[in-house]
Amino acid sequence: MRPAGRSETDSLYFDYPHFPFVRPPELEGETVRHRVAIVGAGPVGVTAALELARHGIESVVLDDKATVNDGSRAICISRHSFEILQQLGVDAPFEEKGLGWTQGRTYFRDREIYRFRMPHSDQERYYPMYNLQQQYIEQFLIDKAHASGLVEIRWQSALTDIHQDEEGVTLQVSTPEGEYRLQCDYLLAADGGRSRIRESLGLSLHGQAYEGRYVIADVRLKSDFPTERRAFFHSQALPDATILVHKQPDDIWRIDYQLGPDEDPEQAVEEASIREKVSLIIREVMHESDDWELEWWSLYKAYTLALNDYRHDRVLFIGDSAHLVPIFGVRGLNNGLADAANAGWKLAWVLKGLAPDRLLDSYSPERRGATLDVFANAGKSTRFMTPPTRGYRLMRNAALALAFHNDYASGFANPRQVTPYTYAESPLTLADDPAFEAGPVPGAPLINRRLGDDDFLLDHLGEGFSLLLFSEDGRVEPTLLRGVEALQARGVDITLLRVSRSPGDEETLVDVDGSLFAGYGAEPGSAYLARPDRHVAARWKRLDPADLEATLNAALKTALGGD
Amino acid sequence: MTAPTLPFDDLEKVYEHLAITLDALPEADESHFLAQLALALAHRVPDIDQVMAAIEEARQGATLD
């Protein structure tokens, strides 16, 4: 919502693009068969299109709008998501525009009681978190999609019905110039929390709603306060409301505040109510005295809802269409992007004939597992942010008061920000080699390590699978090299990354300070096999060159859906 | 030597269980219940200095304004 007199796209800082409707060949009576259709050109849908394009697969994206999202909405992008964006070759504008941050503060009764720091070191290319308005996120992804040549985005095209059978999926599409049928092999449903596809297939989300509503409001305000997450509990100005404050680019500040149980949500989102509360928070809680302007606001309620299965034959649900999670911990967008990367590479592998269709069966357990992991913590953090009862409020305030002087209670004030999920239980993940004492376990994403001034391990990953081979000087046993070449000759997209302790040839990645070997718990002869989405499929403390081909073949077979 | 303490995961369980227990009591009995709980817990701590330190921690938190 925006102040009176301003339209949904009349922003103080963002020029909304207008995407024209372009007549598709189907409207001219041509029969076109698309391999992949994606419904929803939000961040999740377009990320999936870019992941498919990265593997050479074309897709068509439908969206009923003529522009990007109306408000800033999801504003926190995690490091893991940035590593996805890097693989898509679109990280540069995000890094340039986004505001990186590493820490946050918790206040109780207007006193800072706790400061949390997210894991960060000079071994990382990216900050643990970046703030960036969703319009920019969408704009940067759409720009990349337009430039890719493999993604066709059809604006002002609304899905009205869907039918699938063994042959494929047929969509009924409504446009300003008439209706048409679109046919595709697979469909990615990225059409958000109110998914029309979900409804058309007769599916519904299961889970629960939590007490308490929040207003999320953006204001333009000049302030020198650094980019951090601030949480205010029991402030003098608004004792019953939890308040969250985030800085965004363009001098935009996000203020989230909780509505009391007696407040009428309809009245709370009226402009006069928003202005009154926001003004109070800016002056009395943030202690800012400069003028401010109201930009945009929305109402939010916490849910933990998910589909029972994210795959329905030829339809994969990605992002909010599959799951709704509470905002605390910034898991909505970040998990959606991980869905897109997971579904994207698997679909590409199946369509290229490199994996059986059942590889797609692993999408649901892996990504639904990530959702259920969020749910397990969501109840706790939501009850902390928004105590549903007197008992929870009393305990929450007691924990915060103790946390001021006592470290043992500070864990309660930690916002438990999103961390990447480990696919340990996945059918694609091999059992761990017990000889390892450190490093990412099978199912976990690869960790980054610095190799030079502007040079990091993850910069060197291939498009497909990557085999990290640790050695003394970068030399690889000829039998091992032949084994990898034999795989490549069979069409397996696998990139060999040779990590060495001492400098070898030009292509060797030299571990200058030992932190790469240490981070991976590796010794010369160790190997990690990583999937296209950077998650470890298998690792060996000592990979026997003589068994390499058989060992790798078996691991790849498992990682691609098994026999 | 530091005395062993309750792991944080367990402390979280205590937090949840106390919240639910408090909700099941009339509000007027809240402080009566909490004072009994303090004595019952203190009885289980064999070191009086630890108990006195805990009382001081809670006093400081209560006067945080």
Cβ distance of B19 and A398 shorter than 8 Å:
no
- The CATH 3.50.50.60 domain(s) of chain A lie at 25-96+128-206+304-365
The reported pLDDT for the residue numbered A153 is 98
CB contact under 8 A, B19 and A383: yes
CA distance A475 to A505: 8
The whole-number pLDDT of residue A486 equals 86
**Cα(A458)–Cα(A83) distance, rounded to whole angstroms?**
8
Inspect the interface and report whether the beta carbons of B61 and A394 lie closer than 8 Å: no
pLDDT reading at A563 higher than 70? no
Task: Using the structure block, give the residue that is written with the tokens 């357990």.
Answer: A365
pLDDT over 90 (residue A512)? no
Answer with the residue of higher pLDDT: A126 or A114: A126
> Judged by CB atoms within 8 Å, which residues 24-43 of B form the interface with A?
24, 27, 30
Whether B18 and A108 lie within 8 Å, measured CB to CB: no
Instruction: Give the residue-averaged pLDDT of A84-113.
Output: 95
For chain A, give every residue range classified as CATH 3.40.30.120.
450-559
C-alpha distances in Å from residue A319, one per residue of A169, A367, A556, B2: 20, 10, 27, 47
**Residue in B18, B22, B62 closest to A401 by CB:** B62
pLDDT of residue A479: 82
Structure tokens at A533: 């989405």
Q: What is the pLDDT of residues A183-196, one digit of tens each?
A: 999 999 999 999 99
For the cut 70, the answer to whether the pLDDT of residue A215 exceeds it is yes
CB pairs under 8 A between A and B: 53
Write down the pLDDT at residue A494: 93
What is the C-alpha separation between A157 and A174, in angstroms, rounded?
A: 6
Q: Are A50 and A90 a contacting pair, CB within 8 Å?
A: yes
ipTM: 0.95
Judged by CB atoms closer than 8 Å, whether chains meet at A405 and B60 is answered as yes
Residue B1 has pLDDT above 60, yes or no: no
DSSP E strands, A63-109: 76-78, 99-101, 103-108
State the average pLDDT over residues A168-172: 97
pTM here is: 0.93
Predicted local distance difference test score (pLDDT) of residue B65: 59
CA dist., res. A163 & res. A171, Å (int): 7
| Residues in contact with A237: Cβ distance below 8 Å, sequence separation at least 6, in sequence order | A280, A281, A284, A285
Question: Among A390, A411, A412, whose Cβ lies nearest the Cβ of B22?
Answer: A390
Give contacts of A391 with chain B, Cβ < 8 Å.
Answer: 18-24
- Contacts of residue B24 in chain A, CB cutoff 8 Å? 391
**Residue (of A504, A214, A183, A190) closest to A386 by Cα position:** A214
pLDDT in tens, B30-58: 999 999 999 999 999 999 999 999 999 99
* Higher-scoring residue by pLDDT: A487, A55: A55
3-state helix, strand, coil in chain B (%, to 5): 75, 0, 25
The residue behind tokens 């009994």 is B36
Nearest chain B CA: its distance from A395 CA (Å): 6
Q: What are phi and psi of A151, to 5 degrees?
A: -120, 125
Contacts of B65 in chain A (CB under 8 A): 109
Is the CB of residue B50 less than 8 Å away from at least one CB of chain A? no
Number of other CB atoms surrounding residue A444 within 10 Å: 18
Provide the mean pLDDT of chain A: 93
CA A312, A313, A314: angle at the middle one, nearest 5? 105
CATH classification code of A450-559: 3.40.30.120
Q: Which residues contact A511 (CB under 8 A, 6 or more apart)?
A: A449, A451, A499, A500, A501, A517
- CB contact (8 A) between residue B61 and residue A383: no
**pLDDT per residue over A217-276, tens digit each?**
999 999 999 999 999 999 999 998 999 999 999 999 999 999 988 889 899 999 999 999
Mean pLDDT, rounded, for A363-384: 88
Task: Provide mean pLDDT across the span A465-477.
Answer: 90
Q: A25-96+128-206+304-365: what CATH class?
A: alpha beta
Please give the structure tokens belonging to residue A259.
Answer: 């509505």
Of A77, A88, A82, which Cα lies nearest the Cα of A125?
A82
